[in-house]
Chain A
Amino acid sequence: MSATRTLTDFIRALRSAEVAVSPAEAIDAAGAMNLIGYTDRSALKSALRPALAKSEAEGEAFDRLFDLYFARQASAARPQDGPARDEATEAPPQDMLELAQSGDEAAIQAAMERAGRASGVQDIRFSTQTAYYAQKMLKQLGVEQMEAKLLEALQARSDEGEAEAAGMIAARREMLKRARAHVEAQFDVFGQGATQAFREDVLTHKPISALDLADLKRMRALVEKVAKRLAVKHSRRRRNRSTGQLDVRATLRANAGLGGVPFRLHWKQKKRDKAKIVVICDVSGSVARYVRFLLLLLHSLGDVIPELRAFAFSARLGEVTGQLDSDRFEGVMEQILREYGMGSTDYGQAFSDLKTRYPEAIDRRTSVIILGDGRSNYGDPRMDLFREICARAKRVIWLSPEPEAMWGTGDSELDRYRTHAHATARVATLSDLERTLDRVLALYD
């Protein structure tokens, strides 16, 4: 196997672990490899890393895969070095029985490597594919020919035949074990990243209400990923310079020193509002779970939203911005629930509390996100106050964990609230939350 092949396979492994390697970078890596050579593995590692891994996260994936991949390469390469190796790749499969019984470790290793390549083990994505690829490898190794012989031996009905068959069965079992081990090692290199990505994809679209405890832990990391994605997208200021209307005053001022000759032109710039978000969360039992994710997401987004205020209520409403500002999220939700989670939900009372205790919270730059099911226990929904909020705020978005068919049934007032809100949406999954926040933040870009 040539050096280029080794490198391209390694790059495939990197790509499967979500390290996006472009062809240009692959060329850089090949250039670096040519310069450094591949005798000194640690030098090779520090030469390939700057060419291939372009962030800290990618660097970690690179380190893990480099050690896995080149450790395997070294064990496969040692027995037969030099040009002979390329011929070996093309060589027809040896007799499998002979190979198994030869006990030649190096030859078996090389045969496994060859069979693995021929059956495309590098494409493995999930650990459940292990058996499938192991079987495919056995076929490459010539298991069919051996099985034909095995049948012959059994049909001979002689002691010799029996003994021969037993040997072949043992050899087959041994080779299958080796093949499985080979596939598992390959999975570590090529499949782990993909599995991880798949799992995350599933979690992102899984209803929050259906998450179990193990999922919740993983979700934490995932929420932070989503937050980062949103942050990257919205932290950049988009400015339209050098377009539109001439700013006469600024131009004259800037060129006063040049005798009023307009060398440097200034253009009128559109002013953008800073993101100002108010979230109002119903933290009664049925909704609390969704609130946790919304707050965690907002907590991780801290830097993007300069002005964020959070309120929680069930019976009475209070501000929880302070708790959210602390560096760690652990325990924050529990504290909020202890403080505000008791009591029966009363939306009317909550809006009235908001008006009397925090009258300055909402102005025309504010986006209001309300997370709740709108079930007010038949209390007065205070439609007048809600209408007032909608009139004053830039945008009011109501998020409900319930499906649309349930809105307005029983004690739900959501059907009436939604006529005033700018948008109403159901949030069932993390990706719903992401989409909503994306839309809100886009208002301020």
Chain B
Amino acid sequence: MTQTETSGAYGALTSPEAITAGLGEVGYISTPDISMAVYLAQHLRKPILIEGPAGVGKTDLARSLAEWLDVPLARLQCYEGLDESKALYEWKYGKQLLYTQILKDRLNEVLGEGDLSALTGKLGDFEDLFFSPQFLEPRPLLRAMQQAEGSVLLIDEVDKADEAFEAFLLEVLSDYQVTVPELGTIRAQVPPIVVLTSNAVRELGDALKRRCLHLHIGFPDAVRERAIVGARVPGIEESLLKQLVAFVQALREEDLRKQPSIAETVDWARALTLLHVEAFGEETVRQTLNVLLKYESDIAALDNRVGGLARAAASAP
């Protein structure tokens, strides 16, 4: 196995520890597992497939990575019916038509007189004009390939796209090259770091899974969650931070329809600081619980337990 030379924008990815530190600089609190996956992705030239509940920072990892490495982020949001023309490239039809219209008046001057076959031959020489890079509209996949300095390609919620698109992705991700019939093959000078995310709406195809490095991001433990909230909500009281994280952690042990994830914890912390909450008590929790829990049935189910949970969190070490 030859070591991949790390140069250019990816030069900072020297070790998992360096990645943890670097992501920390831009406010993403990593774990050894996450950093290792990123490290391997770059050195083995493999896409990372991230699975996990909504709101645990799957998309954020790609965004933070691009920010830290200072490379462009090409984001492709998947949905049912997504196809190549939206993901890869499209011809600028409108511009082509407009140019044809403008050129029509001058057609006689350019082509001049002659018999039909000579004119057709002349016209043929211009054809390439309309199928040239200036009429090509690059979509995220192609844009990511075109970056000379490398890029981060985020393919978000790949489970929402249909199978046909998944198969198409396989081709792109295995060679890091795409073919535009009129122009030829475009190969990425510096392969992008590819991050795919999935919320497990449907099971992904085996072939795609097997080609990717698999990373599962779950809910964080209390220490990491405190670090994340601290990074996202600067200036939050230390004691309040401790208590609210303890409360959320206890909440995840409950049998809920939708467990609060990190995004919700951060929102809640923002809400509490905005309200200048000093004492963490039952009343405040009750009033702001709808920030954490997104289902009425969950709030109702917890109604008579909120007091106890809040007190337990308030007295947490």
A contact set with B: CB distance below 8 Å = 20, 22, 24-25, 28, 30-32, 34-36, 42-43, 46-47, 49-51, 53-56, 59, 232, 235-237, 239, 241, 258-259, 263, 327
| Interchain residue pairs with CB less than 8 A apart (12) | A24-B211, A28-B213, A30-B1, A31-B43, A32-B44, A35-B39, A43-B32, A50-B36, A51-B40, A51-B44, A56-B51, A236-B163
Asked if residues B216 and A237 are in contact (CB atoms below 8 Å), the reply is no
Task: From known contacts A50-B213, A51-B213, A54-B210, infer whether A35 and B203 are also in contact, taking CB-CB under 8 Å.
Answer: no
Q: Is the CB of B33 within 8 A of A259?
A: no
Query: A232 and B203: CB pair below 8 A?
Result: yes
Contact indicator B214/A54 (Cβ below 8 Å)? yes
Contact: B215 with A50, CB < 8 Å?
yes
Interface of A: prevailing SS: helix
Complex contact A42–B216 (CB within 8 A)? no
- In angstroms, Cα B139 to Cα A364, docked, is 44
Residues from chain A with a CB closer than 8 A to the CB of B163 are: 236
A46 touches B46 (CB 8 A): no
Q: Which chain A positions have C-beta within 8 A of B257?
A: 327
Q: Which residues does B use to contact A, with CB under 8 Å?
A: 1, 3, 16, 32-33, 36-37, 39-40, 43-44, 46, 48-49, 51, 80, 93-94, 97, 162-164, 202-203, 206, 209-216, 257
Give the top 5 A-B pairs by smallest Cβ distance, nearest first.
Answer: A50-B213, A46-B36, A54-B209, A54-B214, A232-B203
The reply to whether B202 and A236 form a contact with Cβ atoms under 8 Å apart is yes
With A28-B46, A46-B32 already in contact, 12 other A-B pairs whose C-beta atoms are closer than 8 Å: A28-B213, A31-B1, A32-B44, A35-B40, A46-B36, A46-B37, A54-B210, A54-B212, A55-B51, A236-B163, A236-B202, A258-B97
CB pair A28–B202 under 8 Å, yes or no, is no
A235 and B202 in contact, given A28-B46, A49-B33 (Cβ under 8 angstroms)? yes
**Residue numbers in B under 8 Å from A36 (CB-CB):** 36
A47 touches B36 (CB 8 A): yes
CA distance A235 to B201 in the complex (A): 9
B202 contacts which of A32, A47, A232 (Cβ < 8 Å)?
A232
Which chain B residue has the least Cβ–Cβ distance from A34?
Answer: B1
Q: Which residue of B lies closest to A50 (CB)?
A: B213
Which of A43, A53, A232 is the one whose CB lies under 8 Å from B36?
A43
State whether B93 touches A31 (Cβ < 8 A). no
Chain B residues contacting A55 (CB-CB under 8 Å) are: 51, 209, 214
Q: Are A259 and B97 in contact (CB under 8 A)?
A: yes
Q: Is the CB of B97 within 8 A of A53?
A: no
Within 8 Å CB of B97, what residues of A?
258-259
Instruction: From B36, B49, B162, B216, name the one whose CB has the most chain A CB atoms within 10 angstroms.
Output: B36
Please give me the residue from chain A that is nearest to B297 by CB atom.
A327
Q: A328 to B211: give the CA distance in the assembly, Å.
A: 36
